[in-house]
Amino acid sequence: MPDNGTFSYDLRGQDGSLIQTNVVVGGVTNTSAIVTISQTLNQIASGHDFEKRMLVFYANLNGSPWTYRLNYRLCPWLNFTATGDDVRSFIGIGSGELPDRDIDLVAAYLDCLGYIDDNNTAFESALISGGDLERQANRAIVAQAVILAMPSLQTRISQMENDGNMSAQRFQIDFSDLESRASDQLSRAINLITGRLLVAPSMTAVAYDMPDPFMGSPRFYWRIG
């Protein structure tokens, strides 16, 4: 709890300039407080897809100065249904290892828009299609969100969990395979949405003359490619 039950904050806008300064909040009796920012200060300027706001809090704690910065993003309604749970399910982990706050679905959505160079109409049309293309668009967002989370996954995912009474160990996660699967899902979804040609791999037979160690006859293998 801040000294004297009081703290203040500054609010900065898209260009970093001060929108509000030294706004004092008093009567704080706990370790948390609710700060309400006026709707008029949270408007997105024309021509911007989104905007940022930066809150900087100031207080004294036990006589020592304390500062905390909180950033947030303003964006219009984005018409997708992909969720943090979808991202975690793709990876195979729980919310304790990758909470919603560390999954940037908005950035993934904007990235997917950028991958389609047609003024974004194909992707947005897919998201309202009510059919397979809508499902593919959401799969693209999930895959891109996984790719964005990849740099931190290896350090944040534990192989062993122990709550004092029980312990559990998960199988080793192949991060290279995980990234490859996410990239494949993203590419396939984007190709389907844009109508690009998808070439199915051909089936070929490859024969080896080496005898089978059990049957003594030549072995034949089928492979894709």
SS3 186: helix
- What is the predicted pLDDT for the residue at 127? 95
Cα–Cα nearest to 140, from 95, 195, 97, 192: 192
pLDDT tens for residues 185-215?
999 999 999 987 544 444 444 444 444 444 4
Strand partners, 168: 161
Q: Where do we find the tokens 């195979």?
A: 92
pLDDT tens for residues 132-169?
999 999 999 999 999 999 888 877 775 444 455 544 45
Strand partners, 22: none
pLDDT tens for residues 37-61?
999 999 999 988 899 999 999 999 9
Strand partners, 51: 74
pTM of the model: 0.72
DSSP secondary structure letter of residue 94: -
